[in-house]
Amino acid sequence: MMGIVMKKVSLSVAALVAIGLSTGVASAADLPAKVYKKAPVVAAVDPWDIAFGSAIMSDYIFRGVTQSNHKPSVTAYFEPRYNVNPNLQLYVGSSFESISFANRAAAEVDIYGGIRPTFGPLAFDFGVWGYLYPGGQCYGTAANTTDLECIARGAIPFNGNVMKKDVSFYEVYGKVNYTFNDYFAMGGNVFYSPNFLNTGADGTYASVTAKVTAPSGMMPAGLGAYVSGEFGRQWLGTSDGFYGITGVPRGPGIKYADYNTWNVGVGFTYKVFTLDLRYSDTDLSKGNCNAFTSDFTASQVGFATPINPGGFGSNWCGASFIAKLSADLTAMTNLK
C-alpha cells in the first residue's frame, strides 16, 4: 500500500509541474532582463551674452532737447551681459552718439552698468550712467584754454552764452516696467545727477512710459508694429558762478527752469531692424531754453527771462520730429 501511495504522490507532483508549464508560468530565466536607462544629458547654458547695435536718426533728442543742433546723428552701443539666473541679469555697456554742442565736444561717450531683476511680468533696472564729452573747449575763446581763462579773457559770444570745456557728468537711475500681456506694457523711470552737465546744478528726471504692440495677425508676415509714448519732468537746481548772468567772472549762478517733456511715436520692426517715427516737445520757453543749453546758434531776440536777460532765444527745446532706423542684436540669438 505504501508503495502505491508514493507512486500516486509522485504522479501528482509531476502533473502539477506539467500543468504549470502548460499554463505559461515562467521560470526566473524566462523573465525579461531589467533595462537601466541613463539620465538625459542637459546641455549647459552659457550665462554670458552680448547685445550690440547701431542707429541713424534725423535728430538726437535727449529729454526733449536736441543734442545735435536738429541735425542727423549716428549712434552705436556694445553691452556684455551676465545672466545669474533666468530672473537676474548683470550688465555693463558703452555707447557713443554724434553731437553738436557749443563747446564743440567731439562726441558723447557713455559708460554704464547695472542690474536687472525680474519678477514675472515686473522688470526692474538699477544702475549708474556716465556721460563723457571728450575734445571740448571753452565756448567763445581759443582752443586748449581752461574755463577760468575763458571767463577772464572776456571772450563771450555776441549772444552772451558760454559753456565749459568739460561738461561730463553721471546719473544713478531706477526703472520699472510691467507687462500686462503680449500687447500692452507701462513703466516708470527716475534719474538723478548731483552735477547735471557739470553746471553745478543737480538734476532729477522722472517719467512714465507706455507701449502698445500690434497683434501679429494685424501685420504682414515678419513685420511688427507698436505705438509708444513718454511723459517726463526734469527738475534742475542752481548752477555755479560760471553760468552766472553778470560780472567777470559772472557772479552767482542761476536757478534753471524746471520743465515738462513728452514724446509719442509709432514703430515698425522687421527681424533686427526698427524704424521709429516720433514727435517730441517740451514746455520750456525759448529764453529759458537758451540759458539752459548755451545754444551757439541763438540769434533771435525778444525772449528775456530772469535767467536770460540778454533776450536771445533758442529753439533747441521746441517741437521736433525724429525718424530713427536702428539695428539691435544679441550674440546668443543672432550669431549662433
pLDDT in tens, 260-317: 999 999 999 999 999 999 999 999 999 999 999 999 999 899 999 999 999 999 999 9
Q: What is the pLDDT of residue 245?
A: 74
pLDDT band for 25, please (50, 70, 90 cuts).
Answer: very low
Q: What is the pLDDT of residue 221?
A: 86
Output the CA angle 199-151-245, nearest 5 degrees.
Answer: 60
- With respect to residue 71, please indicate whether it lies within any of the assigned structural domains: yes
- With respect to residue 242, please indicate whether it lies within any of the assigned structural domains: no
Phi, psi of 239 (to 5 degrees): -75, 170
Largest CA distance in the chain: 144
- With respect to residue 219, please indicate whether it lies within any of the assigned structural domains: yes
Strands 169-179 and 73-85: unpaired
Query: Residue 177 belongs to what domain range?
Result: 47-233+263-280+317-334
pLDDT in tens, 218-243: 888 889 999 999 999 999 999 988 88
- With respect to residue 294, please indicate whether it lies within any of the assigned structural domains: no
**In terms of pLDDT, which residue wins out, 152 or 45?**
45
CATH of the domain at 272: 2.40.160.40
* Single-letter amino acid, residue 245: I
3-class secondary-structure state, position 113: strand
pLDDT band for 252, please (50, 70, 90 cuts).
Answer: confident
- With respect to residue 16, please indicate whether it lies within any of the assigned structural domains: no
How far is Cα 162 from Cα 153, in angstroms, rounded to an integer?
12
How far is Cα 113 from Cα 124, in angstroms, rounded to an integer?
14
- With respect to residue 182, please indicate whether it lies within any of the assigned structural domains: yes
Q: How many domains does the chain have?
A: 1
pTM: 0.83
| Peptide bond preceding 309 in cis form (omega within 30 of 0) | no
| Interacting residues of 97 by C-beta distance below 8 A, sequence separation 6+ | 60, 67, 68, 73, 74, 75, 107, 108, 110
Nearest residue to 318 via CA among 306, 120, 292 = 292
Output the CA angle 141-144-148, nearest 5 degrees.
Answer: 60
| C-alpha radius of gyration, the chain, whole number | 35
- With respect to residue 115, please indicate whether it lies within any of the assigned structural domains: yes
- With respect to residue 238, please indicate whether it lies within any of the assigned structural domains: no
